[in-house]
Structure 1
Amino acid sequence: MMASAKLLSFALLVLTTVAMIGVPSADTSSVPYGPDVILPCRGNYICFIHTDGRQYGCPQGGKCIPNGNYDQHGYAQGKCFCAHG
């Protein structure tokens, strides 16, 4: 009985230490529109973005992130990212 109490105390100590230290969050510094735009929009929208910043096909508040290179007309196909997924 005493061994299980010691084991429980040790487990609580470990969990408390982990909770105090915390778990590092994902690095979003490479996301071009800020740290809150990290998840693909619900519905997996396909969008188009122009080199001048115009974008088409994303829901309100979504940002089009290009998947590849721009064509000769200045457009690239991309995927929409939203703040709340």
Structure 2
Amino acid sequence: MQNFIQSQGKRVKFRLEYRGTIEDIFSELSKTIGTGNVTSKSAGAADIVSLGDSWVNSAISKKLIEPIQGVDDQDWFHTLSDKWK
């Protein structure tokens, strides 16, 4: 995460919040989308959510997350390492 934060510099305000497990994030996203009950600290309210590779396809198929469109045209995207792309 430190690498990601450093690559973005002062360009973005970044507040990092951890969850106990990736399963917790997935579950929280599922509940938020299912009920529409979004609080400011819920994963469903976040601009960016990171899931492990094994969870991504399931989250996309359930429409819990979606890829960011048009990132190739964004300066911030080019400063990311391949790991974060």
> Given the two structures, how large is their TM-score scaled by the length of structure 2?
0.26
Whichever of the two has the greater Rg, that structure is 1
More strand by share: 1
- The two structures have a TM-score, normalised by structure 1, of 0.26
